[in-house]
């Protein structure tokens, strides 16, 4: 009986498919469980990261199914996007063809891996039957005022020839091609994700059980809430006011200068006629042209230039100089900052450099009185207010409240909250995306397309440009259209939607994928949402996961969703490395899953991905490692081959209790392994230790099988343990297990079986190993009956020769007894 993975794997894939083993029911008495992995972009081939991701998810899906859940485990394709377009240009083909060919290829690869998807629910986002609903959402967002058009400087990737959302710019570089991102003034569509900023932040607290802490932190940082106040400073010699945002309004008495961004809208006006005009303009231009990458840790020296103008600190009445400074961001707050050198490190450095006055207004109680001349750094700590008029003596936290109140009373400003989060630019100047369903009419202006006219089809008969420009503006059959309102001449929007819009709601579409009257029904969503377990890479910690959370909240407010959050539990799996580095096609260090499957079979590849490390951690691919996994699979196969025909086909954990030594020991191990594997999968996704536990069971079976085959009770114990082994390994190596179970004599499928149930009685041991310690050091072990009395165990411990050797001539101070575990003799 030879192990031939290629044959048996294809055989069982066919059988499962024919029997619909992994189809999930829309109605069921069983509790629902929605297990989802981040769907793949059809880039060409499945890579090892996919295999790991989907192997993890498949264990969860199988396990939940075996525990009696109705499991939704779907798969689909995130099929719009730039790579298709770039590849199409390069290979002189069409993005659609490239995409669909890749999908066909990757679908076959996933099927070859034997994952337990309900393939009837497969979705493809570039299919009009998918994106038509996205266009409907676009209209809903527009109708609800959550979508608007605005002309503003945008992140522009010159290589991709399109704008990027803030989330898609990493350290000043394009997230996809790493080109330096430029700023370009464009009119774009924005989703008002900032309307949900407060809720997106607050609801992270509801995810603390199910999401990794670091993802929550990353989202909190990204949303970036700052509570403070806006304060207006009148400009001297003019009617203007400069408004600043600050979180430290308690330090306003210490504001000794004003700094504004080079792009501040008032700058022109301030400079007009000033003697410093041309110098300051040159300086501002230099800042504006500086490379964005220079921000952050390697930011250049703080630089500024006095504008020649002053404004008035409304609390002190002092005139303070207005500076243009390179560290003030035009896009955050109001683009102007009050300089409080004594209590802000950045302002402190700036003041020292340009000899601006430093004024202490907070005195921490634990510090000696602060003196500006001797300070070496700003003091940001809490303390009592000083030099602050009527507020003197207040703790600064209380001062924040009082000053905010006073601002509002006197009309000098107001309480304010600032967010780092910006609205989401969803316009893309590329072809391979979902068309935006609006037109621009010569008489009516912008008009949404009528719902009944959806989908607005992306034309497939276009001529692509070699320079990556979208062909849509040059395709009259697409953009020449009629106004939905007046039927006059109109031009269709030629920008397409960001592909992250597709992935922000696909998990909802799986609940009702064939619905051609609506994206989904509230009933289907209520039945399945939220996703119980979501699994994917941490690289989506902000982008996709934040957008999806926003979408769910918005769709809830439109009346679709019943839940507040899409993903109840999130597992971020680690990367598969090769030689300590991320696998990368361009660097040539990849391991091709197809090759590995051809050599070892899908079961082995899956098993290795799960055994090599806990799922959240990165692991290094090693040839020796997969050899080891293959060896174990072979070991299970040979064990079964040896036992088949000699042992009865028993259900897992079905062998009766026995008092005989090895039989009793095997049965104990069998039941203990069922408990351990179940616990490991349930509590912490500890697949590596779950597999290790089954290895131990298999090892024991090898050791005892010759002896147990001699007796009927022994054969029963082996038959039961073998069945248990196959059931426990089924989520990991499903084909192997089905095949062996069939050969063992079963006609039913493992795919239809429930998880084995251990009995507590079998876990009870009649003897225990008692560890003997003297002063906490290991000095021996005793094998004793489990029900031995405390006194008897202590006596036996003290009588142990090695214990006696180490206690000889010393007085015994006490004897610690831990039932079933150890005796520690304390001497001095």
Partner RNA sequence: GCGAGGGUGGCGGAACUGGUAGACGCACUGGACUUAGAAUCCAGCGCUUCGGCGUGGGGGUUCAACUCCCCCCCCUCGCACCA
Contacts of RNA in 260-279 (CB under 7 A): 261
- Nearest residue to 492 via CA among 473, 511, 508: 473
Rule CB under 7 A: say whether 437 interacts with RNA.
no
Contacts of RNA in 391-420 (CB under 7 A): 418, 420
Shortest distance (Å) from residue 299 CB to RNA: 4
Q: What character string, x for contact with RNA (CB under 7 A) and - otherwise, covers 697-726?
A: --x--xx-----------------------
Rule CB under 7 A: say whether 92 interacts with RNA.
no
Q: How far is CA 640 from the centre of its chain?
A: 41
Tell me which stretch binds RNA (CB under 7 A): 241-249, 583-591, 666-674, 747-755: 241-249
The residue (of 371 and 814) whose beta carbon lies closer to RNA is 814
Shortest distance (Å) from residue 617 CB to RNA: 5
147-157 and 182-191 as β-strands: parallel, antiparallel, unpaired? antiparallel
Q: 384 pairs with which residues across the strands?
A: 363, 395
Rule CB under 7 A: say whether 686 interacts with RNA.
yes
Q: What character string, x for contact with RNA (CB under 7 A) and - otherwise, covers 593-612?
A: -------------------x
Rule CB under 7 A: say whether 317 interacts with RNA.
no
**What's the rounded Cα separation, in Å, for the pair 816 and 793?**
11
Contacts of RNA in 626-645 (CB under 7 A): 627-629, 631-632, 634-635, 638
The residue (of 145 and 580) whose beta carbon lies closer to RNA is 580
Rule CB under 7 A: say whether 1 interacts with RNA.
no
Cβ atoms of 702 and 627 closer than 8 Å: no
Tell me which stretch binds RNA (CB under 7 A): 129-137, 553-561, 625-633, 661-669: 625-633
Tell me which stretch binds RNA (CB under 7 A): 138-146, 388-396, 695-703, 784-792: 695-703
Count the site residues for RNA by CB under 7 A: 86
Contacts of RNA in 532-591 (CB under 7 A): 538, 541-542
Shortest distance (Å) from residue 628 CB to RNA: 3
**What's the rounded Cα separation, in Å, for the pair 352 and 341?**
8
Rule CB under 7 A: say whether 160 interacts with RNA.
no
CA atoms in the 13 A half-sphere facing the CB of 633: 28
The residue (of 118 and 800) whose beta carbon lies closer to RNA is 800
Rule CB under 7 A: say whether 502 interacts with RNA.
no
Burial readout 757-767 (b: 16 or more C-beta within 10 A, e: otherwise): ebeeebeeeee
Rule CB under 7 A: say whether 344 interacts with RNA.
yes
The span from the first CA to the last CA of the chain, in angstroms, equals 64
Which residues have CB under 8 Å from 638's CB, separation 6+?
A: 3
Which residues have CB under 8 Å from 488's CB, separation 6+?
A: 441, 442, 443, 444, 482
Shortest distance (Å) from residue 267 CB to RNA: 14
Token pair of 604 as six digits = 């082995």
Rule CB under 7 A: say whether 818 interacts with RNA.
yes
Shortest distance (Å) from residue 723 CB to RNA: 19
**What's the rounded Cα separation, in Å, for the pair 254 and 87?**
58
Torsion of Cα atoms, 105 then 110 then 111 then 115, to 10°: -170
The residue (of 258 and 716) whose beta carbon lies closer to RNA is 258
Tell me which stretch binds RNA (CB under 7 A): 208-216, 428-436, 493-501, 784-792: 208-216
Shortest distance (Å) from residue 575 CB to RNA: 10
Rule CB under 7 A: say whether 661 interacts with RNA.
no
Tell me which stretch binds RNA (CB under 7 A): 336-344, 381-389, 391-399, 551-559: 336-344
Tell me which stretch binds RNA (CB under 7 A): 209-217, 384-392, 468-476, 504-512: 209-217
Rule CB under 7 A: say whether 304 interacts with RNA.
no
Task: List % helix, strand, coil for the chain (3-state, nearest 5).
Answer: 40, 20, 35
Interacting residue with RNA among 328, 394, 458, 552 (CB under 7 A): 328
Rule CB under 7 A: say whether 293 interacts with RNA.
no
Shortest distance (Å) from residue 447 CB to RNA: 36
Interacting residue with RNA among 179, 243, 569, 622 (CB under 7 A): 622
Contacts of RNA in 751-810 (CB under 7 A): 769, 771, 773, 775-778, 781, 806
**What's the rounded Cα separation, in Å, for the pair 287 and 294?**
11
Rule CB under 7 A: say whether 178 interacts with RNA.
no
Q: Rounded to whole angstroms, what are the CA distances from 225 to 345, 420, 547, 666?
A: 21, 7, 17, 59
Burial of 821 (0-12, 13-18, 19+ CB in 10 A): exposed
Rule CB under 7 A: say whether 619 interacts with RNA.
yes
Shortest distance (Å) from residue 620 CB to RNA: 6
Shortest distance (Å) from residue 76 CB to RNA: 27
Q: Rounded to the nearest 5°, which phi and psi values hold at 696? A: -65, -40
Maximum C-alpha span of the chain:
109
Token pair of 186 as six digits = 């464009």
Shortest distance (Å) from residue 18 CB to RNA: 33
CA atoms in the 13 A half-sphere facing the CB of 750: 30
- Nearest residue to 462 via CA among 105, 93, 711: 93
Tell me which stretch binds RNA (CB under 7 A): 136-144, 185-193, 240-248, 794-802: 240-248
Rule CB under 7 A: say whether 248 interacts with RNA.
yes
Burial readout 788-816 (b: 16 or more C-beta within 10 A, e: otherwise): beeeebbebbeebeebeebbeeeeeeebe
Contacts of RNA in 213-232 (CB under 7 A): 213-214, 217-218, 221-222, 224, 226, 228
The residue (of 273 and 296) whose beta carbon lies closer to RNA is 296
Cβ atoms of 487 and 108 closer than 8 Å: no
**What's the rounded Cα separation, in Å, for the pair 337 and 325?**
10
Rule CB under 7 A: say whether 185 interacts with RNA.
no
């Amino acid at each position: 009986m030879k192990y031939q993975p290629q044959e048996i794997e294809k055989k069982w894939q066919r059988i499962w498919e024919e029997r619909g083993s992994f189809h999930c029911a829309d109605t069921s008495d069983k509790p629902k469980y929605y297990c989802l992995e981040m769907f793949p972009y059809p880039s060409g081939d499945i890579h090892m990261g996919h295999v790991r991701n989907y192997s993890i998810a498949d264990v969860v899906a199988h396990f939940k199914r075996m525990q009696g859940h109705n499991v939704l485990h779907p798969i689909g394709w995130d099929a719009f996007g730039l790579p298709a377009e770039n590849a199409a240009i390069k290979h002189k083909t069409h993005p659609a063809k490239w995409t669909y060919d890749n999908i066909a290829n990757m679908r076959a690869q996933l099927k070859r891996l034997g994952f337990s998807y309900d393939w009837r629910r497969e979705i493809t986002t570039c299919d009009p039957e998918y994106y038509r609903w996205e266009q409907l959402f676009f209209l809903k967002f527009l109708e609800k005022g959550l979508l608007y058009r605005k002309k503003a400087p945008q992140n522009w990737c010159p290589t991709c020839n399109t704008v990027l959302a803030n989330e898609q710019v990493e350290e000043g570089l394009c997230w996809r091609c790493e080109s330096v991102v430029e700023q370009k003034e464009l009119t774009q569509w924005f989703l008002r994700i900032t309307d949900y900023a407060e809720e997106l932040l607050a609801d992270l607290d509801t995810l603390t059980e199910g999401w990794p802490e670091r993802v929550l932190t990353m989202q909190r940082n990204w949303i970036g809430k700052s509570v403070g106040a806006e304060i207006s400073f009148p400009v001297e010699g003019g009617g203007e006011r400069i408004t600043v945002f600050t979180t430290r309004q308690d330090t306003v008495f210490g504001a000794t200068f004003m700094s504004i961004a080079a792009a501040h809208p008032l700058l022109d006006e301030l400079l007009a006629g000033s003697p410093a005009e041309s110098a300051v303009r040159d300086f501002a231009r230099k800042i504006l042209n500086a490379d964005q990458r220079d921000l952050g840790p390697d930011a250049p020296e703080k630089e500024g230039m006095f504008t020649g103008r002053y404004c008035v600190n409304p609390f002190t009445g002092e005139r303070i100089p207005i500076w243009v400074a390179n560290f003030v961001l035009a896009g955050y707050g109001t683009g102007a900052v009050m300089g409080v050198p004594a209590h802000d490190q950045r302002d402190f450095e700036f003041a020292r450099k340009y000899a601006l006055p430093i004024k202490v207004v907070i005195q921490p109680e634990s510090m000696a009185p602060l003196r500006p001349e001797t300070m070496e750094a700003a003091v940001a700590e809490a303390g009592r207010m000083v030099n602050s008029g009527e507020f003197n003596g207040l703790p600064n936290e209380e001062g924040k409240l009082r000053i905010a109140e006073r601002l509002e009373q006197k009309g000098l400003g107001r309480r304010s909250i600032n967010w780092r989060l910006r609205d989401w630019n969803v316009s893309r100047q590329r072809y391979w995306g979902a068309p935006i369903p609006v037109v621009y009419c010569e008489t009516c202006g912008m008009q949404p397309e009528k719902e009944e006219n959806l989908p607005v089809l992306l034309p497939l008969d276009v001529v692509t440009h070699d320079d990556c420009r979208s062909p849509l503006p040059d395709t009259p059959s697409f953009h020449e259209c009629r106004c939905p309102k007046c039927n006059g001449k109109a031009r269709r929007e030629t920008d397409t939607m960001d592909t992250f819009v597709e992935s922000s709601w696909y998990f909802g579409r799986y609940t009702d994928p064939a619905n051609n009257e609506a994206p989904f029904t509230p009933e289907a969503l209520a039945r399945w949402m939220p996703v119980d377990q979501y699994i994917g890479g941490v690289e989506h910690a902000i982008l996709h996961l934040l957008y999806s959370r926003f979408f769910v909240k918005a769709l809830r407010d439109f009346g679709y969703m019943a839940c507040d959050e899409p993903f109840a539990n999130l597992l971020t799996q680690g990367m598969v490395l090769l030689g300590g580095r991320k696998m990368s096609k361009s660097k040539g260090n990849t391991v091709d899953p197809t090759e590995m499957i051809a050599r070892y079979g899908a079961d082995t590849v899956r098993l290795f991905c799960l055994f090599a490390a806990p799922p959240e951690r990165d692991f290094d691919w090693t040839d020796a490692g997969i050899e080891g996994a293959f060896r174990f699979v072979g070991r299970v196969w040979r064990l079964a081959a040896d036992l088949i025909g000699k042992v009865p086909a028993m259900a897992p954990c079905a062998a009766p209790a026995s008092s005989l030594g090895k039989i009793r020991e095997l049965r104990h191990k069998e039941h203990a392994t069922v408990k351990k594997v179940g616990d490991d999968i349930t509590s912490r996704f500890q697949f590596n230790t779950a597999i290790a536990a089954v290895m131990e069971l298999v090892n024991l079976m090898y050791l005892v099988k010759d002896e147990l085959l001699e007796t009927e009770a022994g054969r029963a114990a082996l038959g039961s343990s073998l069945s248990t082994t196959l059931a426990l390994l089924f989520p990991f190596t499903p084909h192997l297990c089905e095949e062996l179970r069939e050969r063992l004599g079963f006609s039913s499928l493992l795919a239809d079986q429930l998880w084995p149930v251990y009995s507590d009685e079998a876990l009870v041991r009649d003897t225990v190993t008692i560890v003997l310690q003297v002063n906490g050091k290991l000095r021996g072990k005793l094998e004793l009956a489990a029900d031995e009395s405390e006194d008897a165990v202590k006596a036996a411990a003290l009588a142990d020769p090695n214990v006696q050797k180490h206690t000889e001539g010393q007085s015994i101070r006490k004897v610690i007894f831990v039932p079933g575990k150890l005796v520690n003799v304390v001497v001095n």
